[in-house]
Amino acid sequence: MISEISEVAKPVLIPPEYIHYADQQSIFDLIQRLLKLLIIDRPEDPISYLIKYLEKDINDVPSIFMFGPRYAGKKTLARLLKEKLHCVVLNGEEIYKLCTNERNASPQELTAALKKRLKEPDCESKGYIIVDFPRFESEAKALRREGIFPEYAIFLEAPLPLLIETVSAKRIDPQTGDLYNMIYNPPLDPLVERRLRKLPGNEEEDVRKEYDDYKREVVLLKNIYSSVAYEF
């Protein structure tokens, strides 16, 4: 039935001057934002809900998901974007801790917890960057079903040899907890250098396994976020 209707339906023609006005006033972006809010909140009275929303001081705040293998520079980039955009940064570990079961929480539980977090004043007024979440296709699909979909999905790429080199150079000071990179940021004090230790879980085989797991899952995530994906 749908295909029969679509074959005979006439296209809706919008005069160019209307398109120009809509672009100038960002009407298409506004409609998209309102639809996303309706899908996420599902109010019983959509009209009253939209009226109340439009009465607020509306800011076009960012919504960004950031992906990449471990040590690809996600946290550094997120910090730089936060300074530029003045938004909230949430990482995967924080999101898992929103649930009682943490890593054993279902995609639905994680989605409900994140949905609640994103409704808090800081995220609503400033926007957000989510780093390292969702990690699995099932989590991404659960978010999408609830209307949690980013404006931008950033995928950072880094070759495995570079990641291994980065990991092998990392050290921690057990007394202070300070981190050092023996190539780019070695300690100036020889006494500090002598007490440095490798970080646990930073062996080459650990990095290889995490990298392989990420590369396998990121193919599915890129498919879900293909319409808003940017690779670097």
Question: pLDDT tens, 95-150?
Answer: 999 999 998 999 999 999 999 999 999 998 899 999 999 999 999 999 999 989 99
pLDDT class of 3 with cuts at 50, 70, 90: very low
Which residue type occupies 228? Answer: V
Report how far residue 52's alpha carbon sits from residue 43's, in angstroms, rounded to the nearest whole number.
12
pLDDT > 90? residue 55: no
pLDDT class of 7 with cuts at 50, 70, 90: very low
Report how far residue 220's alpha carbon sits from residue 111's, in angstroms, rounded to the nearest whole number.
18
Question: What is the pLDDT, as a whole number, of residue 1?
Answer: 35
Q: Between β-strands 179-181 and 170-172, what pairing exists: parallel, antiparallel or unpaired? A: antiparallel
Segments making up each domain of the chain, as ranges: 13-57
User: Which one is predicted more confidently, 184 or 79?
Assistant: 79
Using CA atoms, how far residue 216 sits from 28, 99, 141, 153, in Å, is: 35, 26, 17, 17
Contact 61, 125 (CB under 8 A): yes
CATH number for the domain whose boundaries are 13-57? 1.20.890
The whole-chain average pLDDT of the chain stands at: 88
Using CA atoms, how far residue 145 sits from 39, 52, 134, in Å, is: 9, 24, 13
What pTM value is reported for the model? 0.76
Question: What is the pLDDT, as a whole number, of residue 35?
Answer: 84
pLDDT > 80? residue 18: no
Question: What is the pLDDT, as a whole number, of residue 58?
Answer: 57
The two tokens of residue 111 are: 């989605």
User: Angle at Cα 218 formed by Cα 212 and Cα 224, nearest 5°?
Assistant: 165
pLDDT class of 28 with cuts at 50, 70, 90: confident
- What does the buried/exposed string (b/e) look like for 119-158 if buried means 16 or more CB atoms within 10 Å of the residue's CB? eeeebeeebbbbbbbbbebebbebbeebebbbbebbbbeb
Question: What is the pLDDT, as a whole number, of residue 82?
Answer: 96
Question: What is the pLDDT, as a whole number, of residue 12?
Answer: 54
Question: What is the pLDDT, as a whole number, of residue 201?
Answer: 78
The two tokens of residue 38 are: 């309706």
Contact 148, 40 (CB under 8 A): yes
User: Which one is predicted more confidently, 6 or 98?
Assistant: 98
pLDDT tens string 162-202: 999 988 899 999 999 999 999 888 999 999 999 999 888 78
Report how far residue 218's alpha carbon sits from residue 227's, in angstroms, rounded to the nearest whole number.
15
